[in-house]
Homo-oligomer: A and B are copies of this chain.
Amino acid sequence: MSGLILHEYGRSGNCYKIRLTAAHVGIELERREYDIMKGETRTPEYLRDVNPNGRIPVLEDGDRFLPESNAICFYLANGTKLIPDGHFDQADMLRWMFWEQYNHEPNIATMRFWLRNVGLDALTDAQRMQIKGKRDAGLAALDLMDNHLDSRKWFVADQFSLADICLFAYTHVADEAEFDLEAYPSIVRWMERIMTMEEHVSLDD
């Protein structure tokens, strides 16, 4: 695989998980940055040529464009050791990736975006009304992860997989959404295992 272009906003955990996957499988990505705060992914050109859904990340591979972060990770890792063997373990890995997008990202990542990028004072009333619900759901997500990791090194099949990468992306910056990770010792140990791997790259790399 070569000539791949990642259309991204570098600080997004959804974009970072793709770069982390690429680092683990040894794929080089050309990076193209968009300022989402200036609406650069909502222009008529972006909607027509890159993603009709108006979001990053998108992977460009020749004349094809692939949106959705976890689908892009699956594409880059298909056929590598980041995806376990066996139908049950593959599905269990996807289970955690779907859970990440439904139960984790809309709470922890959205809170981080609201606090860091938008700012509390600039939130709409409808957004402000959701803060308590997102806070509670984010805490429940971290609880569930910590309990799962109490007796396991990795999320699925006793091996490092895309499930770990996709969950690591927003978990390791959950403090930026004002979640206190020190309350989750199994998560902290799991993050340390990931961050000390030889292939690891950080969000700021």
Contacts and interface: CB of A to CB of B under 8 A. Distances in A.
Interface in A60-89: 61, 64, 66-72, 74-75, 78-79, 87-88
The prevalent SS among residues of A at the interface is: helix
A26 interface: no
A106 interface: yes
Given A99-B53, A132-B126, A94 B79 contact: no
Copies per assembly: 2
A165 B163 CA distance: 24
B78 A95 contact: no
A98 B99 contact: no
Interface string A41-70: 000000000001100000001001011111
Interface of A: 52-53, 61, 64, 66-72, 74-75, 78-79, 87-88, 90-92, 94-95, 97-99, 101-103, 105-106, 125-126, 129-130, 132-133, 144, 147-148
